[in-house]
Structures are given as structure tokens and as C-alpha cells.
Structure 1
């Protein structure tokens, strides 16, 4: 249980859990991950039978991760120390773990939310919306991404290398477990009004944004790739249509101004797609995201040389268009031109040139990401050098003594 000034409720939570252990014959412990309480929560928890582990780094995720590391059991259940969850109802979680699950999530929307236990904004907008985004982005089946009561195999969670220190830790655990293809299950759980007289630590907008930001950053496909492809498609279709002349839709006429907008959409969309691929490659190499065979096939085929050829062809097309525009200017004796005609040559040509450079730079950067650092053999440590020196000195001393003995004889 993470704890920061929970003197009103922490002892109750500890006693309930210890009673649950005794009732079901479970060899367990209660670990209080204290995050700097100043109200005496630590001693109250010890008196109730818990083991208190001080966690110096502030934050919900930091406290939980510190407590998970300190836990001695094969299975770990986590829940808030504010008495909003009933720790005497952990048996369904434990049974699912014993049946092979890696992570067992509580679902408050299936188990029941008591009146006053959750603000209406969280209940009807925040939690459902963020859970929907999580299911959409990561193809997860979890209905309540942010339930604070959950249980898991300690070794499975430790393998994930969880990093976030704030409230988004709850999302990170589910997302990384999903990407790792863990066996994740849900059980209904109830949420009651907490027993504190003070306001909760949760900040609605700040922590909600941190959850959403985390979900987006861990899904380059939805953050970069899909928006980029949509922009590219819109820009390409509009640009081709407008390159041959104005387009009318009813009484509305689209002309070269819209063509410039279409070119901008093409460039931004292409850059977004490139960012998606670069982000995916980097995240895979650093272990933030699991390997993706589709991405590996793309980069296995799309070598730096092929990318440079593609960029070169785009550049040739762009230069060809610029030469055509110069010839058009020459025909008009290098005088004033009608923008409605000249921009239909210049804008697509400039767009091709910009995209060619983006493609070349992206290929070069991917090649840099693919460089493997040479694994040097471990250097001899100072201690090892000193030991070797002592051995050499002893050997020299023995040799000198033997030489003296021979000389005396």
C-alpha cells in the first residue's frame, strides 16, 4: 500500500488484510510503502502489524515500485491505504493468479461504485474515456485501466522495467503487460468512499493529462502514423485535383491558395509518418516497446541505399518541375506571371524537394540508429591490477631468494 499521511485509515487497511490472511491460511505480509508521511502513519502501520518501507522519491508510481521491490511474496496485491478498497475480498485475485494469470485487474464498473466514492467527472468521463483510449491504442480488453486494486506475479511485473513515477504508473503497468502478451484478467471489485477527512492526492486535470500523454507516447501508430497518413492522403488527393485547375464544390471555389494548404498537409503528414517509424525503431532498440516483425521487415527491405534512391528520384521530380516553371517564366520574357498558373508548377515541385530531403535525412538517421556499439571485453579493474602486481612482486622475491641460495652454495 502506498502511503502519504494516511493516519486516519492505514491501520484499518492493515488489520483487514492481516485478517484476510488468517481467515484463508495465507502466508503473507503487509508492506506499507511510505512516501514521507508526517502524521505518524508509519508507527500506526507498524502497530497494526505491517512492515514499513520508506520511499524517498515522491510520487504514486515511485512509492508502489519501491514497495513491490521490497515485497517478499511470489504474488503482490496493491491498493490504496485510504480504505476505499476492501482488502478482505482479495481471494478472487489470488485464485486467478494461482490459475496462471500474470496480472489480475479489479473492475469497479462491474463490481459497483458506492455513492460519493468517485467524482462524477471521473466516473462518467475521465475513467471511461482513458480506458477506451487504452483499449483502442493497445487492443487491450481491460475495462477499468485505472483501478487501484490489482494483483500480479512479482517476477512478471519486475521484468517489465516500469519507469513512471506518478499516477500514470497504473496505465504503464497495464500497457506494458499487454504489449508483453501477459495473461491479464479482470474481477469485479467495489469502490467505497475513502475514510479520510482531507482531500485526495489525485489532481483531476493534471493526472488525467499525464495518463493520456503516456498512452499517446507509447503508441507511435496513433500519435504519428495514422494522423500522418490521413494528412498525406488529404494533401495528395487535393493537390492532384488542384494541379490541373480550380475545383468547385457548389458555390465554393478552391484554387492555388488551397493547393498551398494541400502541399503543407503532404509535408506535415510525411514527416509524421517518418517520426512514427523512427520512434518505433528507437523504442524497440531501447526496450521501451517489444519487437514488431512488420517494422523489422520494412527496415530489412528499406535499406539506406534504397532510401537515398527514393529521395533522389523525388528531388529529380522537384527540380524538373522548377525547370519547367523557369521555362514558363522565360516564355513570358521573365516578366510578371499569373500566380494561378505559375504556382501550379512551383508548389508541387517545392513539395517534392522538401519531401526528398526528409526521406534522405530519415534514412541516414535510421542507419545511425542501426549502428551497434562494439562490445569490448571487460577492462581489468584496479583491484585486479593490484592483486596481479602483488603476485608478481611475490614471485620476484621468491626468485631472488633462490638465486641468493644458489650463490651461497
Structure 2
């Protein structure tokens, strides 16, 4: 699958020192590609890892690209730009999302959707997987504001598992380099009148023994 034209689906995983969970995330992504029936690739966009994550990704069969600037958004932007697929899926390296559930996202893209976002709030949040304030205050409030101002009907604007077509990605013209990338993506989808679908998804508990990259209040204000 060395030729761009042979790749139909790319699953992009941003990565910064994720040696504990990266192999599991890649394995789920590869299973998703197999279940989709499409030719595909797993792209790990590395954001300057120093724990051997790049070697783990290559060992697990992923293609590693290097994001030139630090930041969640920059890592995803580089991954999207270098991905070869017509259908693009994004999700985290911490294995809290089950990429196999993204097969349903891809079906919506095949049927005419431009952008698909998961909803953990409408799906299955495993015990300990989401802080109380995120679940009952932060995410619902931000989702309400985005719906109000940008004409969308979503319940979980912060869900990190999403899918879109290559054409939709090119149209959005995304630029945010930090965690606010997630809000820019959904806001522009509303502004540009993309056909948006929401699909319930699961959220598993983060089993890593390090602090998450997301900072509740700091990144919440940046989103606003």
C-alpha cells in the first residue's frame, strides 16, 4: 500500500510519550481498518516523544510522522496533512477510545456525511473514565454554546474520536495548534454548513500513571 491511491482510510493518532498505551491504541486502529473492509493505514503523529514511542509505533505497523511544532493541534494537523486516505479518523493514543467503534463513523461518511463526531455522553462512559465536572458541567455547557451560536445539534463537543472526509478537512482550513483545535474543528463545521453526524461511543478509563495533557480549566478557557 505504498501508493496514495491505494489507501482509503487513515487513522491518525497524535502522540507525546505514550509508550504505556500506544501499542494498544494502534492495535485497535488496525482492527478497525480490517472491520471497515477498506484499505488503510495507521498514522502516528509524534510530538517530540522521548520515551521510545516512535519505535513502538513502527514495531506495531504504524507510519510515524514528525510534527514540527509542539501541541495537540499541530500534531493532528501534520498527521492529517500526511495521511493518504480519503476517509480520516482521529483518536487519542491513551486507548480510552475504541477505534473499532469508528467503523460506524465511516459508514456515515460513505453515506454522505462530511464530518462525524462521537458522543461519550450518549454512549458508555466507563467508571472513572471522565471527571465529574467534565461530564456534567464543562462539556454540556460548551456543547450548548456551540449549538446555540453555530447551528449544530451535538451533545459532546469535546469527544476526541472523530472522522471526516479529505474534502471536508481541506475545506475547514484548520490552524489551531493547541487543545482548542477540537473546538475550531466543530465550530468551522457549523460555519461552513458541513453535514455533521453524531454517533454514540464509549470512553474507557485512562490507565496511564502520568498526568493527562488536558488541563481542565486552562484548556476550557482556551476553548471559549
So what's the TM-score if we normalise by structure 2?
A: 0.92
Aligned residue for 1:61, secondary structure, equals helix
Alignment of 1:258-297 (within 5 A): none
Aligned residue for 1:189, secondary structure, equals strand
* Structure 1 or 2: more strand by fraction: 2
Mapped pair 1:152 → 2:147: no
Mapped pair 1:104 → 2:104: no
If asked which structure has higher relative contact order (CA below 8 Å, sep 6+), I would say 2
Pick aligned residue for 2:64 from 35, 38, 52 = 52
8 Å CA contact retained: 1:104, 1:185: yes
Alignment of 1:116-265 (within 5 A): 116-212=128-224
8 Å CA contact retained: 2:16, 2:46: yes
Where do 4+ consecutive residues of structure 1 move more than 6 Å?
none
Q: Cα gap change, 1:23/1:96 in structure 2, threshold over 3 Å: closer, same or farther?
A: closer
Question: Which ranges of structure 1 fall in alignment gaps of 5 or more residues?
Answer: 213-409
Partners of 2:69 and 2:170 in 1: CA distance: 18
RMSD: 1.0
Aligned residue for 2:167, secondary structure, equals helix
- How much has 1:56 moved relative to structure 2? 2.0
| Partner of residue 11, structure 1 | 23
* Structure 1 or 2: more helix by fraction: 1
Deviations 1:108-165 (CA, angstroms, capped at 9, x unpaired)? 1111211110111111111111111111111211111111001000221122111111
- How much has 1:172 moved relative to structure 2? 0.5
8 Å CA contact retained: 1:108, 1:188: yes
8 Å CA contact retained: 2:57, 2:63: yes
8 Å CA contact retained: 2:35, 2:100: no
Partners of 1:23 and 1:55 in 2: CA distance: 29
Alignment of 1:25-44 (within 5 A): 25-44=37-56
So what's the TM-score if we normalise by structure 1?
A: 0.51
Deviations 1:214-264 (CA, angstroms, capped at 9, x unpaired)? xxxxxxxxxxxxxxxxxxxxxxxxxxxxxxxxxxxxxxxxxxxxxxxxxxx
8 Å CA contact retained: 2:88, 2:165: yes
Partners of 2:78 and 2:167 in 1: CA distance: 14
Alignment of 1:271-350 (within 5 A): none
* Structure ID, larger Rg: 1
Partners of 2:32 and 2:159 in 1: CA distance: 20
Question: Which ranges of structure 2 fall in alignment gaps of 5 or more residues?
Answer: 1-12
8 Å CA contact retained: 1:15, 1:49: no
